[in-house]
Chains A and B, each alone.
Chain A
Amino acid sequence: MNFVLRMAWKDSRASRRRLALFSLSVVLGIAALVAIGSFGANLRVAIDDQARGLLGADLVITSRQTIPRAVWDHLATVGGEQAKEVAFSSMMVFPGADGINRTRLVQVRAIEGRFPFYGEFLTQPADAAARLAGGEAVVVLEETLLNQYGVKPGDTVRLGKVDFTVLGAVLKVPGESVAVTQLAPRAFIPLAQLAATQLAGPGSLVRHRIALKLPADVDPLAIERAMREKFRTERLGYDTVEERKRDFGRVLDNVNAFLSLVGFVALFLGAIGVASAIHVYVRQKITTVAVLRCLGASARQSFAVYLVQGLGLGVFGATLGAALGIGVQLLLPLLLADLLPFDVNFFIAWPAVARGVGAGLVICLLFTLLPLLTVRRVSPLVALRSAFAERVGGPDPWRVALGVLIVLAVVGFAIWQTRSLPLGLGFSGALGVGFGVLASLAHAVAWAARRWCPRGLPYVVRQGVANLYRPNNRTVLLLLALGLGTFLMLTLYLTRTTLLGQIQGTGGNGRSNLLFFDIQDDQIEPLNALLEREGVTTRQQAPIVTMRIKGLQGRTVDEILADRGSGIPGWTLRREYRSTFRGELTGTETLIGGTFTGRVPEGTETIPVSIEEGLARDMRLKLGDELQFDVQGVTLAARVGSIRKVDWQRLQPNFFIVFPEGVLEAAPKFYVMAMRAETPADSARLQQAVVRDFPNVSAIDLTLLLQTFDGIFAKVSLVVRFMALFTVATGVIVLVGAVLTGRYQRIRETVLLRTLGATRRQLTQIQLVEYAILGVLAAAVGCILAVAANALLAHFVFKTAAAFPVGFLVLTVLAVTAVTLLTGLLSNRGVTDHPPLAVLRQET
């Protein structure tokens, strides 16, 4: 054993720099796992520490209706403290310096009371939150609004009928992340001012919320249970710290798993790099092994010598990876700041570090062992004959076992991280497919290069092509590293393009791109007149009647909800339906069953309604099934008259349930209206005109949606890109490693060529040809894989047409090839001016 260690140490002398370089390939992968693991632990601790801050209260009760007196009375008996909030969407008017007003959809939060009870309501300036409590006409706005509209504290903005003085900017509200409030930026006003705005009238979608701080000895869950029992029919929503924690935890686990997998790809790639470097290394050590065997070392001893070196390499890489990972962990909070609804304190989670290092070491070792196994089979005869001779024999059972172990380790890791068998299998399957495609491509390339290299080509080209298939070529390795890297990065980009394209397509081809909602019954006539004057020709309008489902097939909703075996998702029964009535189907609807009834005579007992396909499936409704609706206190009997398919991806009012005309006309209703504004300026002008005359009407335009989506996606993809960068960087390291290994391998040959009179220029050209072919092929295959992955995602996940930016793809191929050439040339520097003599003297 002593001999093994000493020999391993001494033998590594000449190649320690190289071994260290090999180990760098796994450093980034391990760093990624360590950083994500440790940061994940930070997050979990943060969630536990700030759990009450996630909600800001012990218990939160929400409702779509004004919270009834009885509930308040009950809460009074519970004790503690309460804070109220009424939230709804509305248009805010920002006076411009040029005298032209601009409007923007905001989320109004009218608040009263000392909320939040836990955590902090951070504003800039700091006293803004406190001054809200005074009840005057003041507002605290989302920071983005201040920036976007050039508003300063002291300026005035208008909401409904009231001018509000801006106090400052919202920085942080417990339990809310900045990223998710981008579509409708928040505007906090005192609840006392709400009535004066005249905005929260009937028909507007208002969310009422009571935050409770309970006496210390009261269990929020018990209160929730008691209230659920007592106010069964009030349709209140409850939110407790425990639920919040669980929800956040689940989301974070998923994000963590996803990022770990991205990190794992880097590790996997690095491990392949290590394996192939060790493969070359071992080949150079064969004579040494044979001599050791002649001198009496056993197969086991000589194997152990190199196993120790492999282990050393792994441990070195893992240690470096752990250190780097901890460094990266410091960066992650900066990247995630806007996405996280709470602060994260940095600490090193050693168990997580150990897990990352452990996983890295295991994968690295398994991959190192694969080429090392050759050492066991080196015959001492090799010392007698300079020719390389591996001892023959059947397939090495150890090698087979190791292969199986590697597959198990990869699958096991994926399942461990995703905590899901199908996801884990899917991920490892995808990795396997990517690997398989690239590896078989590499073999095909080598084969084709051998087969079809035209003799007429210049010598340097033929030599470069020959490098693709000659013994110890790096075709497979480079194609894998570059191809997988390209594939990952490009898939991210294409997905983003696809999603953006989907939203843009929504408003393309003369489709509506501007939506007005919360239009009151008595406003529809004058609004239509206004739009007529403004020259808006294309528009659709739909009346909306809110209703709930009361019963299904003779059973009440409560009965069905109590029956766990019903298989009907609770939300389909509990939710408030915003239904419409009209005489015909619209362009976005197709009838797929039954007949659509456009009008029923007055007094029809069972009204035939049309149900959206997906909802019908969820609720297990068939044609002819009976339903009962509660339309704001009035019970309506209906049956499924038809089932429709709806194209939801248009900015236009679409509905789950459509009633025929002749039933709901008298019910309390409001309207939505979709139209097309040809230019953004038209859109802004229309919005201002409408908001001026009808302050309660809100608008949403497609540009806003696009901006919001792009903003959120940019933040999310920054994180993902950051992780993918590890893969790409690993690819570059593997590339450099491969080039250097090749340099050791081919140094003799290069020197011989030089001795025979090849110029430095010719030698460089030979390399260029090889790298150019590899770069182009890897990039092309990476592109094809990414396009395929994106097409699958687009089809199955986003259900839209995939983006296919040809120009960008061509650019990617060029860029990847350029990087390959550059890396190749840089790390090849020095080979060509190596003194030939020194090399020719060398035995290896």
Chain B
Amino acid sequence: MTDDNMLKVERLTKIYGPATGAGALTVLREVSFTLATGSSLAVVGPSGSGKTTLLGLCAGLDTATHGDVTLAGARLGALDEDARARVRNEHVGFVFQNFQLIPTLTALENVLVPVELRGEGGREVEARELLTRVGLGERCDHYPVQLSGGEQQRVALARAFMNRPKVLFCDEPTGNLDHDTATAMAELIFGLNRERGTTLVLVTHDLELAKRCQRIIRLRGGAVVSDSTP
């Protein structure tokens, strides 16, 4: 792997159930690609095609049945869960389809979790700036239940950028939002991505959104059917 490759995926296969025979469900089949630092990738495909599974494997949330993932220079297959957690904390940001804010924490506290996990204090100003950047400067002390879906997703985005990630993984970030809110969200994602030079992996079934990426990989039944630049 060279420095200009942020993510390298080699013959990645994920099988649920027994490894072979009846009951084995192959969700990903020999998926390979590399992604240059600072570039953006959209993974598209129909529901159930394995997009989320691929994203989870790339981010080290799960282990592959075969194949390997190299993320920011670390071979994930060789690491244990806690080491992968450290890689995530240092290099990765997440945005989920269903926001996944911690319900017991305020917006500001949610944004601060990644840095607090590292034991870094005194970054509150930066967190407030990020929240202001996503347009929620006034809502810092609100709890997730007090925020709308779009607002929650913006908090999640601020949280994702808090640890200055090298890669941002987004799983259907606009899937639960209406059209206008989704458009605004997309602006924020791409805007922040550009500003901070982050590598972006975006899973979506929204082709409009996908077209804004430099590269699109289409999945069907767990296999790559096309890999193109729009």
Contacts and interface: CB of A to CB of B under 8 A. Distances in A.
A386 B89 contact: no
Contact of A294 (B94, B99, B144): B94
B82 A298 contact: yes
A386 B86 CA distance: 24
A295 B92 CA distance: 8
B207 interface: no
A16 to B, nearest CB: 10
A2 B92 CA distance: 22
B103 interface: yes
A767 interface: no
B96 interface: yes
Contact of B102 (A12, A292, A301, A386): A292
Contact of A384 (B96, B116, B119): B96
A295 B109 CA distance: 13
Interface centre among B109, B117, B159 (most CB of A within 10 A): B117
Interface stretch (A415-423, A583-591, A836-844): A836-844
- Interface range for B: 35 or more
Interface residues of A, number: 36
A295 B119 contact: no
Interface string B137-164: 0000000110000000000000100010
A10 B101 CA distance: 14
Contact of A296 (B55, B114, B145, B171): B114
A288 B94 contact: no
A3 B120 CA distance: 9
Given A288-B102, A291-B100, A384-B52, A296 B90 contact: yes
A297 B85 contact: yes
A300 B85 CA distance: 11
B85 A298 contact: yes
B103 A296 contact: no
A234 to B, nearest CB: 82
A838 to B, nearest CB: 8
B81 interface: yes
A740 to B, nearest CB: 18
A15 interface: yes
Contacts of A384: 52, 55-56, 61, 96, 171
B113 interface: yes
A380 B117 contact: no
Contacts of A300: 82
Contact of A386 (B98, B101, B144): B98
A288 B117 contact: no
Interface in B58-114: 59, 61-62, 81-82, 85-90, 92, 94, 96, 98-105, 109, 113-114
A838 B146 CA distance: 10
A323 B145 CA distance: 38
A295 B96 contact: no
A6 B159 CA distance: 18
A11 B114 contact: no
Contacts of B96: 383-384
A842 B52 CA distance: 24
Contacts of B82: 298-300
B102 A291 contact: yes
Nearest to B102: A288
Nearest to A289: B102
B138 to A, nearest CB: 20
A13 interface: yes
A11 B102 contact: yes
Contacts of B163: 295-296
Nearest to B152: A843
Residue among A297, A380, A384 facing the most chain B CB atoms (10 A cut-off): A384
A14 B144 CA distance: 12
Max chain B C-beta neighbours (<10 A), residue from A7, A296, A380, A381: A296
Nearest to B82: A298
Contact of A295 (B62, B94, B99, B144): B94
Interface in A280-318: 287-288, 290-301
Nearest to B144: A843
Given A301-B117, A381-B62, A296 B102 contact: no
A14 B116 contact: no
A296 B85 contact: yes
A295 B81 contact: no
Contacts of B86: 296, 298
Nearest to A844: B103
Interface of B: 52, 55-56, 59, 61-62, 81-82, 85-90, 92, 94, 96, 98-105, 109, 113-114, 116-119, 144-145, 159, 163, 171
19 contacts: A6-B116, A7-B113, A10-B105, A11-B104, A291-B101, A292-B117, A294-B59, A295-B88, A295-B94, A296-B117, A299-B85, A379-B62, A380-B61, A383-B96, A384-B56, A384-B96, A842-B103, A843-B99, A843-B103
Given A10-B105, A10-B109, A380-B85, 17 more contacts: A11-B105, A14-B104, A291-B101, A294-B88, A294-B100, A295-B88, A296-B90, A296-B114, A296-B117, A296-B163, A297-B85, A298-B82, A379-B62, A381-B62, A383-B96, A383-B100, A384-B96
- The 9 A-B residue pairs with the shortest CB-CB distance, nearest first, are A296-B89, A298-B82, A380-B61, A296-B88, A11-B104, A14-B104, A291-B100, A295-B114, A381-B61
